[in-house]
Structure 1
């Protein structure tokens, strides 16, 4: 029986890496007496796979881990046991039975992810400042700049891959976005076919905003772009992953559903 665990990661544990999260769940499974299946051979290990490893320093409300069970266990009981066996910083939210086919693993079907992007306090415009922008702060009109940036038909950037560097258009990989208070909600492509990290979107925006500012002041855009990229970058924001999705649409029509919704409660 295959099952999918949804969990959140927050607080101090946002600074542990993917391998540490895997070891954490291995210990939790043992302590909680979850009937998880093991591989065969001379060095058996728990059968588990994550939909998409979370970067160090990111919090999340929607992480997914697929496991294989040797026997059924009630979803609510499993969640209770795992949370009692765990520590603050990782909270199991649900456990659901999923389809047995290999092609239905979270890693395989992942198609999109939601993020909440928040500027850090130190880069926000200073209240009451006469300066519209500076090399180490966002412009007072940064939201309008971002709206114009997202309104472009194309957002071309050089993207580094494992083997080479190629120009890509980010705009088709951004499915939705909106301002939520002082933060940006964004839904982007995720998975093996297409994958867009939110920090690349913000890096590209900051370079674009730097050039716009430079043109307004009649300075060299390249010089301004360099100054902005050195002091402001994707790390000037905090990123929180909110949810992950599969695409059940047909004939080119996108229909995103949460990975959690593809499973059912075990009673």
Structure 2
């Protein structure tokens, strides 16, 4: 049976990479005594897959992985079993049973939303210039950045990938395209916003927190990934 698990990644754990997160949950599932399914062959491994992994340095309340299990008890007992062997900065918050024909979380991700908070080290004038520029920044027909790869660099219009970018108090809220079709990182939007505001971009002057990861729902609107399943 297919289970989708939602978890948070907070505090100092924002500095561990995706491979370490994978290993962490593999060990946690074993310690929790869950009846996870294993692949066949000479080197069996747990059948789990992760959705839209975070860049290092970003915290989140909306991370997901899917796993196949031979048997389960209840959503509540599974959450409690995982959290009992976990650290406080990485807690499971949802656990749902997926339909048999459900696609894995990575393939269905369509969007993620974020909140950007400025740190005390950010110069007050620069912070105000950035915040004051958000509305006019989004009113542009195009938002063009210079995207660099290992072999070349090219201009790219990222405006189609920005579904929402607005002020919420003294923070910036963004809803961005995520996934295999188009994947826009919040860091790129912040680089473009800083350039538009005439401010030098410094990634250490703000913090990015992912709120949720979404998929397209049956009515065309986006829904959190855990809404694809049901508690058990």
Provide the C-alpha distance between the structure 1 equivalents of 2:53 and 2:24, rounded to a whole number of angstroms. Answer: 14
| Contact 1:2–1:69 (CA under 8 A) maintained in structure 2 | yes
Unpaired segments ≥5 residues, structure 1: 126-132, 211-227
| Contact 2:213–2:225 (CA under 8 A) maintained in structure 1 | yes
C-alpha distance after superposition, 1:37-69 (max 9, x if no partner): 011111111011110111111110010010001
| Corresponding residue of 2:222 | 256
| Partner SS, residue 152 of structure 1 | coil
* Cα gap change, 1:88 to 1:139, in 2 (>3 Å): closer
| Corresponding residue of 2:74 | 74
| Corresponding residue of 1:214 | none
| Partner SS, residue 21 of structure 1 | helix
Q: 2:206 pairs with 237, 241, 251, which one? A: 237
Provide the C-alpha distance between the structure 2 equivalents of 1:161 and 1:101, rounded to a whole number of angstroms. Answer: 37
| Corresponding residue of 1:196 | 184
RMSD, aligned CA:
1.8
| Corresponding residue of 2:117 | 118
| Contact 1:113–1:189 (CA under 8 A) maintained in structure 2 | yes
| Contact 2:11–2:59 (CA under 8 A) maintained in structure 1 | yes
Between Structure 1 and Structure 2, whose CA radius of gyration is higher?
1
1:209 matches 2:209 = no
| Contact 2:118–2:127 (CA under 8 A) maintained in structure 1 | no
Alpha-carbon offset, residue 73 of structure 1: 2.4
Alpha-carbon offset, residue 205 of structure 1: 1.2
More deviation, 194-203/116-125: 116-125
* Cα gap change, 1:105 to 1:118, in 2 (>3 Å): same
| Corresponding residue of 1:38 | 38
| Partner SS, residue 69 of structure 1 | strand
| Corresponding residue of 2:231 | 265
In the alignment of these two chains, the number of paired residues is 232
1:141-152 maps to which residues of 2 (within 5 A)?
Answer: 141-152=129-140
TM-score using structure 2 length: 0.93
TM-score using structure 1 length: 0.82
